[in-house]
Structure 1
Amino acid sequence: MKHLKTLYQLLSALLLTGLSSCTNLLNEANISPNVVDPAVSNPNMIMPNIMVPMANKYLDWGWGNISGTMQHIQHDGWYGGVNHYEWAPEDWNIYYDALRNNEFLLKSSGKFHQGIALTMKAFIFGNITDFWGDAPYTESLKGDKGLFEPQYDSQEVIYKGVIEDLKQAAAIFATGDNSGYLSGYDTFYGGDVVKWHKFANSLLLRYYLRVSEKLPDLAKAGVEAVYNSGVYLTSSPEDATISFVGSSASNMWPYIFKLDQVGQSNFRRIKPAQTLLSQLMKTQDPRLQVWFAPVHVQWVADKSLPKPVDDYIRKDGVPTNMAYADDVTLKALITDGHKLTKRFNPDTYTGAPLDTNLFVGVPAGMRWPDTYNGNPTPGQTVENQHVSQLSDLYRYSNDNRFLKGKLISASEVAFILAEAALKGYQTGNAKTHYENGIRLSLQAWGVEEQYDRFIGRPEVAYQGNLEQLITQKWISSWTMSAEAWMDFRRTGLPRLEAGAGSAQPVLPVRFIYGDKELSLNRHNANEAIKKLEKTQYAIQPNNQWSKPWVIQGTGKPW
């Protein structure tokens, strides 16, 4: 995104603005010389410092531990958090830091900026309560008034507040007025008030659905109101996203890896989860080869082989002198048109089963995922040549078309409306929305031309059940696994199972309150912990397997 190039200049300018304001106010009583006054300063300059960190953090969750939980990816190195849910207490400082900056926008004089601030406030607090549960809300951000130990509000209060803030934001955007906006500062929509209106209403749909089991009347009325307005995301170019410049570690696609040239270890660590890969292969999903690469060396069963397993890789059927090689060497051979294989005799081979498919993922929650599928080099020596890597797209530090941090998509909105229709809400035809959700996801990943073939497959053609709908929504949430996690908590779908390496036989449902909060706001944090439902899988109440209010009493996801 071209605007990210100016991020550090904006930060510097903001600092100078703050210092200038301080100089003018030093002689005024009861006003801190260290605070920028919203009444006289430029609110545009703070916008990227809220939008960019929050989009990056949402991507971070959806590309890391949560992506492993939802079995989009697995790691075959440093895999405890991603594959086995070995989660430590998680602090939320980045969210409250962003909220403090956001207060500047909220107090500014411009209605457009206030609308953005309300939208981002809702998004941030929505994330906080989604991931942790109860949290400081009505008493938060009042340190300037001497309130340093804010009480926690219930999830019900926070979700209702999120919804009200989004309704207020939508009303502001409905005026069509973006007065006071200066070009170059809105990293999502470039000051387009219509798209901001659609974004706010789309988040409303997300959060109405989030509370639909606990507050069904509120959810039904709210979803129907947004649907009847016709104002929500309807095409993939309207998705709320940021792109990446790719010039430094701070503004490139995270994890991968222009600066990670030595061994490409970060890139090699991330593998497709077999759960997702099997689904994509079963339906011949056109997104498969956008996201993932074929194995570099494919296993081939050969009953005539005089030994259990080949000693060396074969190039076009002829043995080489390589038992294994790094991925640069193997990729060069494949690019030159060579087929690389290794053979085994299924009658005499006695090792772990070998996957002979061209695309191979890592099963969820394996105890030793680096050994999978006959890897000759376990332990991150070089890549596992018998397991798929991510596609070459993810080797790059930027790609303006596909490598984006995404907060919400038109595809997600279509699936929300489809589910709402299945629930009996008046939101049109469930089949139409379901098919549109798939089409919009294919559109976002550049393979829309294959929609007719794909939707015609028996496994994909609309069947009118929630499991099929949520499964397709789960696939479409690739790089947005956080939302798939919320759906899983709410519905128990798709039917994911923890692997043998997990400490518990079920998937986690929340983050653990952080050590800083437990230290600095102990009493209120402990009161919130008492309200969690300590399940049979939770060793202690403040645990990733304790249920927050939003799923208590629902029997979901397990």
Structure 2
Amino acid sequence: MNILKLIPKYTLVIGLAMMSSCNDRLDEVNINPNGLDLSKANPNLLMPTVMTSAAMEYLKLGYGDVGGVAQHIQHDGWHEGVNSYGWGPQDWTAWYNMLRNNQLMLERATTIDSKFHMGVALTMKAFVFGTITDLWGDAPYTAAITGAKVDGTVTPVYDSQEVIYRGIIEDLKQASAHFATKDNSAYLTNYDVYYAGDASKWQKFANSLLLRYYMRISAKLPDVAKAGIESIYSSGIYIKLPSEDAVMNYLGTTADLSWPGAIQWDAQQTNFRRIKPAQTLVSKLLSNNDPRLTVWIAPVHCQWVADESLTVPLDEFIRKDGVIQTGIVSLTDIQYQTQIKAGAKFTRHYNPKLYTGTGTDAINTGLYVGIPAGMRQPDFYNRNPTTGQVVQNQHVSQLADVYRGSTGGILKARLMSASETSFILAEAAQKGWTAGTAKEHYENGIKNSLTTWGIESKYAAYIAEKNVAFNNSLAQIIDQKWIASWTVGTEAWFDFRRTGLPALVAGNASTENVLPVRFNYGDNELNFNGSNADAAINKLEVTSHSGLRGKNSQWSKPWLVQGTGKPW
């Protein structure tokens, strides 16, 4: 649904005021004191602030640094965080700001006994805390909102991941029970930007998050996970169709409220251009004849052509419809778009007998080309003659034109989907748990994904592909779930972390030869809550890859993967 149409202007102003008042200290309340009487706040007014903030931050992860770890995307400029995981300390301020607003919503909902708003607040609390502990590890939980003040600084103690995950599960159970009453009498139209006040869909969302977190802890607490997933499956109340997905459309009214990289707010289009598909994903889509390829990824502007009649190793200039364009090594993105739409075809020739480049210097003649993961100089890839960020790499695919937009269509922040729940149940069934048949859920996961991207008519042909037809392996289930998690790279990363699948490999630019498993605790915590942060850091498992950062490293293992032998 479109939140620009749904949220009254005064509500949006209040929400933006609350977001703009964020402060890096946990003792600052994220509410405009002049805009709202906190003792009388209507929980409806708080819903859009919490929901839009959570959706946008979650999308930024999967479309940014984490999308790079999942090897869905790579950057060819300002690429260290995405391509090689050169992360420093990362603060979680934005997530805890959401929790303070959400806590106020929960308290007001409890005061007025609104089952619907209590359910929403508990669901969002679980989602936000789940994201925090998924990313960092141990974190402030039971004392996160109030904390104990020492010399004016909030210093909440950290809870273990196990405590947090168990708390998340209990909150989601309680939320589901509230939604089961179907009582949304306190809800005012136009404030729910996910489900428009539909308690039944919210219950499916809450139960689907339960499926997610049960599977997340399945290696550490298998009995809890098994019983939980079997119970949710037995209830039949979870997201089954893409029309039930938890999604948010973008407003598109400002850069901050638009799809990341929207060219409307970037005259040079550099933010859009630096986001490239990863070759890992492109190769998988090509090998499977995957119809999602053309939905997500654009053809190269100028395709390499092998030509043994060429008397030099490489054409110096591009060719238009086979004719050398003397003096022109490339066109701008806009020039290419205009002429290609008019029917022109651009190529550049090379002689494979004379050109001897190997490895990342080898020429990729494909129509769809991604950047290999973790390259040291990704803007040079595939013999790009226009390195840097002024002109795009004509020999590497950009994302599909739809991702130049600000809002509408498939440009949604997706928190939970029918495709994800199907693959979770497929994995559960493959483990032998009582959750239906793995084959049916696996095929539903693929069908739901294709439907999400508007190509459901391609399902029959795709499911018959040799590498796609079900073979009852966990590797295949996770492989397809990884593909389907496009723009939700967090889930792909977390699945890789607990299973080692798909078998992703770090590139040469990474300081370690394996993928990271967490974010580093941020400077705010280290500086202002040092004793509690240090206690959490000391519980991390230092590995041979932790490197110079020591325990607080993206390669130190949190509780969730300690003792599992995963992902490496």
TM-score tier by shorter-chain length is over 0.9
Matches within 5 A, 1:27-426: 40-108=40-108, 109=112, 110-143=114-147, 148-262=154-268, 264-321=269-326, 322-351=328-357, 352-399=361-408, 401-426=409-434
Once the 2 structures are TM-superposed, how far is the Cα of residue 296 of structure 1 from its aligned partner? 0.6
Deviations 1:259-302 (A, max 9, x none): 1122x111110111000000000111000000000011000011
Q: For structure 2, list consecutive stretches of 5 or more residues without a partner in the other structure.
A: 19-31
**Which amino acid letter does the alignment assign opposite residue 547 of structure 1?**
K
Q: Secondary structure at the match of 1:342?
A: strand
1:545 to 546, 549, 555: 555
Alpha-carbon shift at residue 508 of structure 1 (Å):
0.2
Local SS of the residue matching 2:264: coil
Asked whether the 8 Å contact 2:77–2:379 carries over to 1, the reply is: yes
Helix, strand or coil at the partner of 2:204: helix
For 2:271, give the aligned amino acid. N
1:33: Cα distance to partner? 7.8
The equivalent of 2:11 in structure 1 is: 10
> Does structure 1 residue 499 correspond to structure 2 residue 490?
no
Matched, 1:454 2:462: yes
Could you tell me how far apart the structure 2 residues matched to 1:4 and 1:381 are? 34
1:520 aligns with 2:525: no
Distance between the aligned counterparts of 1:317 and 1:16, measured in 2? 57
Change (3 A) 1:416 1:378: same
Q: Which amino acid aligns with 2:493?
A: W
CA gap 1:13/1:347 in 2 versus in 1, 3 angstroms: closer
CA 1:50–1:313 in 2, change beyond 3 Å: closer, same or farther? same
2-structure distance, mates of 1:242, 1:294: 28
**Cα distance change on mapping 1:14 and 1:220 into 2, 3 Å:** closer
For the residues of structure 1 that align with 2:377 and 2:101, how far apart are their CA atoms? 44
String of CA shifts for 1:520-557, please: whole Å, max 9, x gaps.
11001000000000110002000000000010000000
Q: 1:38–1:107: 8 Å Cα contact kept in structure 2?
A: no
Query: In structure 2, how many angstroms separate the alpha carbons of the residues matched to 1:193 and 1:38?
Result: 25
- TM-score (normalised: structure 1): 0.94
Aligned CA distance change for structure 1 residues 236 and 111 (closer, same or farther; 3 Å): same
User: 1:425-504 maps to which residues of 2 (within 5 A)?
Assistant: 425-504=433-512
On the 8 A contact 1:274/1:363 being kept in 2, the answer is yes
1:88 Cα deviation from its structure 2 partner: 1.2
Q: How far apart are 1:250 and its partner, in Å?
A: 2.5
Q: Aligned pair in 2 of structure 1 residues 12, 552: CA closer, same or farther (>3 Å)? A: same
Q: Which residue of structure 2 lines up, in the alignment, with residue 28 of structure 1?
A: none
Identity within the alignment, %: 56
- Partner amino acid, structure 2, of 1:225: S
Structure 1 range deviating more: 435-444 or 133-142: 133-142
Structure 1, residues 436-489: CA drift from partner, whole Å, max 9, x if none? 000000000000000000000110000000001100000000000001111000
Following TM superposition, by how much is the alpha carbon of 1:37 offset from its aligned partner in structure 2, in angstroms?
5.6
- State how far apart, in whole Å, the 2-side matches of 1:379 and 1:315 are: 24
Partner of 2:28: none
User: 2:270 is matched by which residue type in structure 1?
Assistant: S
Q: 1:476 to 1:33 in 2, by over 3 A?
A: closer
Farther-moved stretch of structure 1 (252-261 vs 503-512): 252-261
Amino acid at match of 1:350: T
**SS of match in other structure, 2:247:** strand
Q: Distance in 2 between matches of 1:33 and 1:284?
A: 56
Partner residue, 1:509: 517
1:381 positional shift = 2.8
Q: Which amino acid in structure 2 is aligned with residue 9 of structure 1?
A: Y
For residue 36 of structure 1, report the CA deviation from its aligned partner. 5.4
Aligned length: 542
What's the secondary structure of 2:556's corresponding residue?
coil
Amino acid corresponding to residue 141 of structure 2 in structure 1: Y
1:404 CA displacement: 0.3
1:405 aligned counterpart, secondary structure: strand
Matched letter for residue 431 of structure 1: K
> 1:101 is aligned with what amino acid?
N
Q: Tell me whether 86-95 or 38-47 shows the greater mean CA deviation.
A: 38-47
Determine the C-alpha separation between the residues in 2 that align with 1:142 and 1:209: 30
Q: Deviations over 1:226-250 (max 9, x none)?
A: 0000000011111101001212112
- Contact 2:255-2:262 within 8 A present in 1 as well: no
> For 2:423, what is the secondary structure of its paired residue?
helix
User: In the TM superposition, what is the alpha-carbon distance from 1:107 to its structure 2 partner?
Assistant: 1.1
**Cα distance between partner residues in 1 of 2:316 and 2:222:** 62
SS in 1 for 2:101: helix
Alpha-carbon deviation of 1:305? 0.9
* Greater mean alpha carbon deviation, residues 540-549 or residues 314-323: 314-323
Preserved contact between residue 38 and residue 105 of structure 1 (Cα < 8 Å) = no
Match of 1:98, as an amino acid?
M
Aligned partners of 1:414 and 1:436 also within 8 Å? yes
- CA, structure 1 residues 486+7, in 2 after alignment: closer, same or farther (shift >3 Å)? farther
- Give the corresponding residue for 2:24: none
- Structure 2 match to 1:20: none
Could you tell me whether the CA contact under 8 Å between 2:261 and 2:403 is conserved in 1? no
The 8 Å contact of residues 239 and 408 in structure 1, kept in 2 or not, is answered as yes
Q: Distance in 1 between matches of 2:390 and 2:412?
A: 30
Residue 150 of structure 1 and its aligned partner are, at CA, apart by 1.2
Q: Which moved more, 1:157-166 or 1:322-331?
A: 322-331
Letter in 1 for 2:206: A
Per-residue deviation at 1:12? 3.8
* Aligned-residue offset at 1:116: 0.4
CA distance in 1, matches of 2:180, 2:453: 30
State the shift of 1:16 in Å: 10
RMSD, matched Cα: 1.8
Give the CA deviation at 1:316.
Answer: 1.2
- Larger mean Cα displacement after TM superposition, 101-110 or 290-299: 101-110
Secondary structure of 1:242's aligned partner: strand
What SS does the aligned partner of 1:508 have? coil
